[in-house]
Every structure is written in C-alpha cells, then in structure tokens.
Amino acid sequence: MTNALFSFVHCADLHLDSPFEGVHSVAPEIAAVLRDATFKAFNNVIDIAIQRSANFLIVAGDVYDGADRSLRAQLQFRDALRRAVDSEMQCFVTYGNHDPLSGWEAGLKVPIGVHYFSGDKVERIAAKRGSEVLAYIYGISYPIPQVKENLASRFRSEPSDPFSIGVLHCNVGGDPNHDNYAPCTIDDLVVCGMNYWALGHIHSRKVLRESDPCVIYPGNTQGRSVRELGERGCYLVRVYPGGHIIPEFISTDLVRWFVEEVDIAELSAIEELLQKLEATREEVRSQAKTHGAVLRLRLTGRGDLHAKLRNVNPDGDLAKPLRESEVARDDFVWVESVQDMTRPAIDVDQRRKVQDFVGDFLRAAENLRMENDTRAALHDLITKRPEHRLIAPQIDQLSDSELLEVVDNAETLGLDQLLRDEE
Ligand SMILES: [Mn+2]
C-alpha cells in the first residue's frame, strides 16, 4: 500500500481529574490509580501520537470535567500538549459543555503550536508540515455550557482546501443518553464539505459514517463509571492520496469497567457462591489483560440461595473477601459492589393463582404493574401514608423503568416476608 500523505490523532472527552463514580470503600492504593487514570490516559494519547509520528492532534471538547477546571488538570493538560509540540506536532483544541469558555482559567501560557478555538465563530486554521499545508481545521468552542444552537450549520469548507476537518462537540441525531447540545443531523454534517468530522460529546465510540465525509466519535479516553464499560481510547487517522481515510482505534485507558451477572439457580450454599464470584473475578482479570478493572457483580436468577442471602451483607460478606490481595497487583480487579437481584425459588406465576393471602398480595402487585399509568396508581396508593411526605421527592426522580423495578423489588421483599411466616 502507498504511504499515507499525513496522519493525525483525534480524541475527545478527556474529563481530566473527574472522579470515578460509585467506587466506595476503596483501598488508598487503588484510589490513587483511579485518581490518576484520566491524566495517564491523555498522556497515552500523546505517546501514541509521538510514536506513530502523527502530524497533528485534535481534542474535540470536554478536556476538563467541570467548568471550575482544577489547577492540577490545567497544568497537566498544558504539560502534555507541550510534549506534543516539542515533537513538532500542532494541537487543536475545542471546549465543550463540561468546560465552556465561561469557566475558570488559570491563565497559563499556551505553548506555541497549540490552537484553542474561540467561541464566537468557526475559525479556519492551517495544519502544516514545514510550509506545506496538509489540511485546514475548522472549529468552534462552547462559550457557555448549554449550547442549543445547531453549530454544524455554521461550518463551510473552502473549495481550495487540500483536506478539510471539522471539529465539533455536538449531539448528532439526538442521542437520548447525552444532553442535546449543539444538536444536528448527519445530513447537516455532510453538506458542510468536510473530509473528516472530529466529533466529541458521545462517550461511546462510534463511526457514524465511513467516507465522504468520515464522521467519528472517538468516545472518552478513560471510562469513569459503570455506564462506561469496556476499552476506551482515541483514533489514529491516516489520509491517503485521493482523500482516502483509514481510521484506527487505539486504546488509552488504564482501568476498565465490567458488569457481570452471576446466576444463583444451580447454587445451594454461600460457599459455592463465593467460589463462583471468585471465578468470575478471574475471568474479568484475563479479559482486562494487563489493565486494572472495576467490577460490578449482579446476582440474578431464582433459587434456594435467595433466602440464604437475606442474612448476608453483600458488601461486607461478599465483596470484601474478593478485594483482599487485589491492592498489590497492577492487574487488580476491584469489586465495586455486589448487587443482589435474586428471586425466591418459587414459581410466582403459579403462586399468584392460589386463593389465599399470598396470592392476593401477588395479584395486587401484578395489577399495579398492569395499570395504564403505574406512576399515578402508585401515587394514589401511597399519598395516604404518613411516610409519603419523606419519599415523594425521590419517587418523582425515578424513571418509569426504575419505578417498575421498585415494584418488582417490593413484591420480592413482601413475598420473602410472607413465605418466611409460612415456613
Ligand atoms: Mn463529555
């Protein structure tokens, strides 16, 4: 194959210095690894760019986790960019909803060779090798956190560009899992005349379009919660004669998140469960390869063990033994939590048909689930109770599916109590 004309690295959503969500009672040694993970991930991006001799680097927004960017994050970001420009690599940076221009800046000197896009208008900057222009980079930063305008419509490439790249932090196609900032459609991006769109904002990587133009969300460089599973990284994009583009994903993360389900159906003793959890932990260790891992374990299924788990503290009795001896390892698997979602061994559908008090209880729960508006029905039921005043605000915050989960859990809990009395 012919050599690439040039190449660049595209990353986004570094969220420097952001805390790992939901990791409680964590050993200090592991906490230190987690605290540094976002920084080291970005340093991995720079290492990759240098080792692969990329000509320039693009960061498509959300460099920082909060508008009150920590000084530590600003210093580390600046130092990492300096390493890039010392290797003769230009850097192009936009800010997104997490780190808009209205946020706090320490006023650090910007290394020569780094360009921050302004928030007023789309700027057009040349990416060069010596005096040769390789591409023009178009970009705009968020002046404020919540940009509702379709910023894509402001981009237009110049016909004389050898290659055009748009850099934008935006929500393409109204992804409901992310705030709908700078909303646009894929067609809005196609008409701008770019060869490549370096996007940011959506944390799961996605190639939205392979060519004419190539449109990519690289995802974030380090997963930070149970919602951000699996490997995370950046794209090395090689451009060939004729504008042919080959993007290569390269992982940059230090620590990976996993969620594993463990079915209790075949298990009869807590001892067996512990063995199965340990085996699951070891599977995750081999999947994570040499990376650290954070693991959420979900106990699922129906079985006799469900009743035995009533007397078990998931964190103290199950998670804690699994965490022992993890601290000293580079390839640690830190069990974040063990969640008990098991159900009793009985056939609930059959039990619901029996004409007794337990049957009445199960039918009432089922009726509630089958209501056209479960939320309103639940509301009617509990407004008459004195504790309603305390729990009403929390109930209002639950999504419909979370509310149904609450009803399911309440049914299981009630059934456990009633069956215990029957035993
Ligand atoms: Mn982000």
**Mind listing the pLDDT tens digit for each residue in 80-129?**
999 999 999 999 999 988 888 887 776 778 889 999 999 999 999 999 99
Structural domain boundaries enclosing 221: 6-251
13 CA to centre of ligand 1 in angstroms: 4
246 and 292 belong to one structural domain: no
State the chain's mean pLDDT as an integer. Answer: 91
pLDDT tens digits, 238-294: 999 999 999 999 999 999 999 999 999 999 999 999 999 999 999 999 999 989 999
On the question of pLDDT at 422 being above 70, the answer is no
Per-residue pLDDT at 423 exceeds 70: no
Residues whose CB is less than 8 angstroms from the CB of residue 176 and which lie 6 or more positions away in sequence, other chains included: none
170 Cα–ligand 1 center, Å: 10
Residues 219/247, Cβ–Cβ less than 8 Å: no
- 1 falls within a domain: no
Report CA(169)–ligand 1 centroid distance (Å): 9
Rounded distance from Cα 200 to ligand 1 centre (Å): 7
Give the pLDDT score at 421: 59
Q: Are 239 and 7 in contact (CB under 8 A)?
A: yes
With respect to residue 20, please indicate whether it lies within any of the assigned structural domains: yes
pLDDT per residue as tens digits for the range 120-169: 999 999 999 999 999 999 999 988 888 888 999 999 999 999 999 999 99
Start-to-end Cα distance in the chain? 74
Task: Give distance in angstroms: CA of 60 to centre of ligand 1.
Answer: 10
- Give the whole-angstrom CA distance, residue 283 versus residue 260: 10
- The DSSP letter of residue 317 is I
Q: How confident is the model at residue 396 (pLDDT cuts 50, 70, 90)?
A: confident
Q: Are residues 173 and 243 in the same domain?
A: yes
* Residues, CB-to-ion distance under 5 Å, ligand 1: 13, 62
Please say whether the dihedral angle defined by the alpha carbons of residues 24, 27, 28 and 32, taken in this order, is positive or negative.
negative
One domain for residues 316 and 395? no
- Please say whether the dihedral angle defined by the alpha carbons of residues 26, 32, 33 and 37, taken in this order, is positive or negative: positive
For residue 333, report the distance from its CA to the centre of ligand 1, in Å: 26
Q: In this structure, are 409 and 294 located in the same domain?
A: no
- Taking Cα atoms as reference points, which of 63, 18, 12 lies closest to residue 37? 18
Distance (angstroms) between ligand 1 centre and the Cα of 201 equals 5
Domain-terminating residue out of 203, 220, 251: 251
Q: What percentage of the chain exceeds 90 in pLDDT?
A: 65
Mean pLDDT of 218-241: 95
Measured in angstroms, how far is the CA atom of residue 368 from the centroid of ligand 1?
Answer: 38
Gap from CA of 114 to ligand 1 centroid (Å): 21
Tell me if 62 sits within 8 A of 12, measured CB to CB.
yes
Please check whether residues 222 and 119 belong to one and the same domain: yes
Residue 68 shares a structural domain with residue 168: yes
Among 321, 345, 369, residue at a domain's last position: 345
The answer to the question of residue 379 being in a domain is yes
Q: Do residue 182 and residue 277 come from a single domain?
A: no
Are both 259 and 238 inside the same structural domain?
Answer: no
Compute how many other C-beta atoms are within 10 angstroms of the C-beta atom of residue 267: 21
CATH number at residue 33: 3.60.21.10
Q: Which helix (H) or strand (E) holds 394?
A: helix 388-397
- The strand order across the sheet containing 56-60 reads 114-116, 90-94, 56-60, 6-11, 233-240, 244-251
With beta carbons less than 8 A apart as the criterion, state whether 48 and 9 touch.
yes
**Residues 362 and 404 placed together within one structural domain of the fold:** yes
Pair (337, 376) in one structural domain: no
Ligand 1 centroid – CA 377 distance (Å): 37
Number of domains, the chain: 3
Residue 94 falls inside a structural domain: yes
pLDDT tens-digit map of 19-56: 888 777 788 888 889 989 999 999 999 999 999 999 99
pLDDT of residue 13: 96
Find, among 114, 142, 102, the residue nearest to 46 by Cα.
114
71 C-alpha to center of ligand 1: Å?
A: 19
Encoded tokens for 109: 């000197």
Query: Which amino acid, 416?
Result: D
Task: Report the distance separating Cα 267 and Cα 331, nearest Å.
Answer: 29
Q: Ligand 1: distance of its center to the CA of 96 in Å? A: 7
Same domain, 226 and 318: no
Considering the domain architecture, whether residues 357 and 226 belong to the same structural domain is answered as: no
Per residue in 366-386, pLDDT tens?
998 888 888 888 888 888 888
The span from the CA of 8 to the CA of 90, in Å, is: 10
How far does the centroid of ligand 1 lie from the alpha carbon of residue 62, in Å?
Answer: 5
Which residue's structure tokens are 């990353």? Answer: 11
